[in-house]
Amino acid sequence: MIRIGKRGLLSIAAAGSMLGLIGCEAVGGVDVNRAVADMLDVKSSEGTLSLAWEIEAESKGNAEADRLADVFGSGAIVVTELLQEGQGTASMEGTIELSKGDIPFRMFVDEASMVLDVEGAKQPFELELNGFAGAGASGMLGGDMLPGALSGEAGQTAVSEIVTYILGHVPNPERTKLGSTTATIDGQSKSLATVTAEVGFEELTELVSTAVSAMLEDEAGLKAFIGTLYDALKPSLTEMAKESADPILKIALNNKALAVEFLYGQVAAALEGFAAELEADGALGSDLTPESGATLALLLDGAKPAGLDVGLYLEPATDAADGVGAIRIDVESRWWNANGAVKAKTIEGTAAPFPTEVKPRERLANVESGSLLYDILKNDLRITRHSFDMIMGANASVPDGVSPYIKGAGTTMVPVRYVSEQLDAKVAWDGATSTITIKDDVDGVTIVMKVGSKSATVNGVAQSLPEAPEIVASTNSTFVPIGFITVALGGEKGWDPASGTVTITKEF
């Protein structure tokens, strides 16, 4: 069954509101709504793109946060060549600019996969995208709303209709003006007209609220829009119906009037709920300073859109607990040869699977150890760090309810197999001698312990334990002192007495 939730409607409205900063009214004779519709209708193009950010960090004495702020507090992703071949197929080439240095990259994406060739990688990375388009569309629209229907050309048409409809009900912000600028288009400096809108979050709330009210008051217009959207999505929905057992979907495809009435009831209810939430919650960004807001500039080459600039400034009204003072994001996009014959560039060579479900020590297997990429991933992002928690008591976060406990004069005992395997070591048990052998072949560590004995060895060197390993009869699990096993396997332990949580961390 097709449903539209308030969360999905909020997502659509938020996306449309960014373009809606310009509003629907003509500015200086420029038909903004038509220009935005033309922009959304672009299926292929050439262009450039840049995204720059700056985070004003306020040190809270947290060394980890300060370190990350030094590396990632400002930077940019600059795409010098963007080739959009068609719906879902594109390539780009550019540079990631950070305080430590620049990292060139190339990327190719289609509906099946994304291939990323970045300086420092031994071979390109490949991430499978099968099913992502449908999941993304479904997530944006809220749960089970048209899964997969917004992918492909029909989906692009539907998105265009949605944004155009929202734009048609958003009034112009007070600070909207027509101007001009010089920009590089296809390697040439050109004089372009600009329509620029600036808005704070309080005004944005009013604009969105006004737009929602206008949609609700225009029942005939809203039903006509739903009907247009129905026509745009019907080919995709028809294909979905072949694999679906949903009788409501089949009925809707055979009776447009019934489908429109049904969807109108949902959309109207969602809009009313959205309006109520806006009124109850107050202004969007109410926890931000009045200086916070957004700027959007549409660049026009004659009557045709040729670029889009977006600026976002967010400054907390109160001292942020996480140490972030303010965030500024600027996006500049330029394009040409709209809907022309454009061919995306593929990346040749054998690609390595993107490390999504590998062990921490394997995450850098495809990265050159002396590269800037390796340094950032390992030392700044610390992607090879692994941390896990265990909670004492009945709410244990350990499989089979095996929870740490305190023994003797304060020694924390933990399940040896679970801890060892989390730290990427193998455990062997000799029932005849009650001996536990733990091996980490990569780090060259072998630990031997015996149940009931406070003596152990690490790589043949004798060690004394504060408590002897023991078997908990209720689960038949062997427990050992946390300090010994953690240090022997190269980890660090932490303890939160308030929650009774034991944390073990290891850098691989």
Q: Which DSSP string corresponds to 86-111?
A: ETTEEEEEEEEEETTEEEEEEEEE-S
Other beta carbons within 10 Å of 291: 11
Q: Which helix (H) or strand (E) holds 305?
A: strand 304-314
Give me the pLDDT at residue 244, please.
74
Are the beta carbons of 447 and 437 closer than 8 angstroms? yes
Q: For residue 434, give both structure tokens.
A: 């009650």
Q: Which residues pair with 193 in a beta bridge?
A: 180, 300
* Identity at 360, one-letter amino acid code: P
- Please name the residues in contact with 25: beta carbons below 8 A apart, sequence gap of 6 or more: 32, 171, 172
Distance of CA 480 to the CA centre of its chain: 40
3-state percent breakdown (helix, strand, coil) of the chain, nearest 5: 30, 35, 30
In DSSP notation, 350-410 reads PPEEP-SSS-GGGTTTTB-TTSHHHHIIIIIS-TTEEEEEEE-STT--SGGG---EEETTT
DSSP string of 187-253, one letter each residue: TEEEEEEEEEEEEEHHHHHHHHHHHHHHHHH-HHHHHHHHHHHHHHHHHHHHHHHHH---HHHHHHH
State whether residue 506 is helix, strand or coil. Answer: strand
CA angle (415, 419, 420) in 5-degree steps = 115
Would you give the distance in Å from CA 159 to the centre of its chain?
A: 20
3-class secondary structure, 336? strand
Per residue of the chain (508 residues), give pLDDT as tens. Answer: 334 343 333 334 444 444 444 445 555 556 666 777 777 778 899 999 999 999 887 666 667 777 778 888 899 999 999 999 987 899 999 999 999 999 999 999 998 899 999 999 999 999 988 644 433 322 222 334 444 555 566 666 777 778 778 877 877 788 888 899 999 999 999 999 998 989 888 888 888 888 899 999 999 999 998 898 888 888 877 877 777 777 777 777 888 898 899 889 988 999 999 888 888 877 677 788 888 999 999 999 988 889 999 999 988 887 544 566 789 999 999 999 999 999 999 998 899 998 888 889 899 999 999 999 999 999 999 999 999 988 887 555 566 557 889 999 899 999 999 999 999 999 999 999 999 999 999 999 999 999 999 999 999 999 999 999 999 888 888 999 999 999 999 999 998 888 888 899 999 9
Q: Delineate the domains of the chain, giving CATH numbers in brackets.
A: 6-107+128-336 (no CATH), 385-507 (3.30.457.10)
Please give the Cα distance from 365 to 359 (Å, whole number). 11
Structure tokens of 449? 């312990």
Indicate the DSSP class of residue 414: E
- Sequence-ordered list of residues with C-beta below 8 angstroms from that of 136, at least 6 positions apart, any chain: none
In the structure encoding, which two tokens stand for residue 161, read together?
């209709």
Planar angle of CA 292, 293, 295, nearest 5 degrees: 140
Predicted confidence at residue 399, as pLDDT, reads 62
Q: Give CA–CA dist 331/18, Å, rounded.
A: 13
For helices 201-217 and 256-281, angle between their N-to-C axes, nearest 10 degrees: 150
Residue 15: its H or E element: helix 6-20
**Inter-CA distances, 254 with 52, 234, 246, 262, 287, Å:** 49, 10, 13, 13, 48
Q: How many CB atoms lie within 10 A of CB 133?
A: 18
Query: Residue 39 — φ and ψ, nearest 5°?
Result: -65, -40
Measured N-to-C along each axis, helices 32-40 and 152-167 cross at an angle, to the nearest 10 degrees, of: 160
Q: What is the SS3 assignment for 314? A: strand
Q: Give the predicted TM-score (pTM) of the model.
A: 0.79
